[in-house]
Structure 1
């Protein structure tokens, strides 16, 4: 079997393994699927592909119902992400430390960023491989953009989760309801900045038009990056994984630098000196 046949087979198994019932509420299913894909813990590759395949179908159905295309697709994508943001599982500091072998402070932040890099790299590799499979199989090419939209949504959710949990590590308390905080973290991700604890009004203003525009633009830039993974089999997989890994690393560094300035004084890591500001 040649590379194109392997690619087409992989894509078909990813998308066709599940039955294809009519989706009654695509937005709700999208939120549930993204929540499962970003939940802590390792997923088997086959399960991750299956969930991404289901997510692709749900997003396609949602876009069709919303008649989203062109500029309207960006607005629809931002609306979808704002709807699912409250479903992104954010751990408190004690749970984070427990899940990361008792690490605290900068060591815990290091591990969170590494874990997020691995997660987005894995999604990028799978999404790149699926997109490349479509590239190698012309009759299926029209479904490739939906697969990349799914990858974009999952990568954004992983990075928003990372940003929110770094706030926990650096002791930045974000006020508001669960939904308000989720939207505030999504807005912070769109700016690639942390939330200022001395400006609590920023949480209540997070649903403003400027924030939605910034979020739309960030999501579309992320989608544009994923479009570059369309190419011959394996090329797309490697490119998708490496591009996502580099982008998540850059985000982690930017957020940590910002939160070090904004945070209250952290307690020292056990057995080490006081963490520098």
Structure 2
């Protein structure tokens, strides 16, 4: 998982080197994307995901396992900002105010992805010959929503001063594991980073991703019902995650530094 100073994934997880990682990075790298551009990128991602799923099926890899492996491969490409950059990008805010703004921004992003994905799915539902392409669109939406939430979780750790050491890939695994469990990382348990990529973690990640995918499958409906449902469900889930992580991190370490205490 990259920071402003660490853009390259570590060796522990292979760099996907494909369109999926690039597209997820672009869809999560900017707080604001024009709706048309987001829709275009999601369409490209859906096609890339469809190709990957087809190859996985040919090799006998189950959907849950394939989806978890894919996410772990692209996780180091999620752009995570350090505290100084976060403050600069959010009008000089720090502490609780900055955390509030991060959660609001993430809610808006996942809501928008859900609305776009739900609208695409609804369009396919209304055109039966194309219905088979809808699952790939929803898998793409699931990946992007998960990436946005992992980014939120990681940046909240920055805001509350819970620094996670390790390579980009190690940190990607740690934050993905925390997202799967919907919990913050315990700063007093350094082994949580080095031991994150275990069987239990992979199982939890598969379960969380499939649960998120299942939520998105409920957006399959005629006309605009999918768009409304997709946006509302994603917004509520991201808000709940933000509240949970903040409660976990709040008070564990000294108060976050003020703006004038952040060193360049």
Q: TM-score when scaled to structure 1?
A: 0.85
- 2:109 aligned with 1:125, yes or no? no
How far off is 1:43 after superposition? 1.2
Aligned residues: 246
Q: What SS does the corresponding residue of 2:233 show, helix, strand or coil?
A: helix
1:189-268 map, 5 Å: 189-262=179-252, 264-267=253-256
Cα deviations across residues 96-140 of structure 1 (Å, max 9, x unaligned)?
A: 000000000000000000000000000000000000001000000
Change (3 A) 1:65 1:105: same
**1:67 match: secondary structure:** helix
The answer as to 2:52 corresponding to 1:62 is yes
**CA deviation after TM superposition for structure 1 residue 41, in Å:** 3.3
Q: 1:156 aligns with which of 146, 155, 162?
A: 146
1:92 lines up with 2:82 in the alignment = yes
Report matched runs for 1:176-187 at 5 Å. Answer: 176-187=166-177
Gaps of at least 5 residues in structure 1 are 1-24, 272-277
Q: 1:124 to 1:178 in 2, by over 3 A?
A: same
Q: Which moved more, 1:35-44 or 1:133-142?
A: 35-44
Residues 85 and 186 in structure 1, CA contact (< 8 A), matched pair in contact too: yes
Give the Cα–Cα distance (whole angstroms) in 1 for the partners of residues 106 and 256 of structure 2: 24
TM-score by length of 2: 0.90
Q: How far is the alpha carbon of 1:71 from its aligned partner? A: 8.2
The structure with higher relative contact order (CA 8 Å, sep 6+) is: 2
Q: Where in structure 2 are the equivalents of 1:32-181 lying within 5 Å?
A: 32-67=22-57, 72-181=62-171
CA distance in structure 2 between the aligned counterparts of 1:210 and 1:71, rounded to whole angstroms = 18
190 and 134 in structure 1: CA distance in 2 versus 1, 3 angstrom threshold? same
CA–CA separation in structure 2 for the residues paired with 1:237 and 1:70: 33
| Residue pair 1:26, 1:61 contacting (<8 A) in 2 also | no
Structure number with larger C-alpha Rg: 1
Structure 1 residues 213 and 69: alpha-carbon distance in aligned structure 2, compared to 1, 3 A threshold: farther
CA distance in 2: counterparts of 1:52 and 1:203, whole angstroms: 31
Pair 199,26 (structure 1): closer, same or farther in 2 beyond 3 Å: closer
Cα distance in 2 between the residues matched to 1:213 and 1:167: 24
* Mapped contact 2:67–2:209 kept (Cα < 8 A): yes
Unaligned regions of 5+ residues in structure 2, if any?
1-14
SS in 1 for 2:250: helix
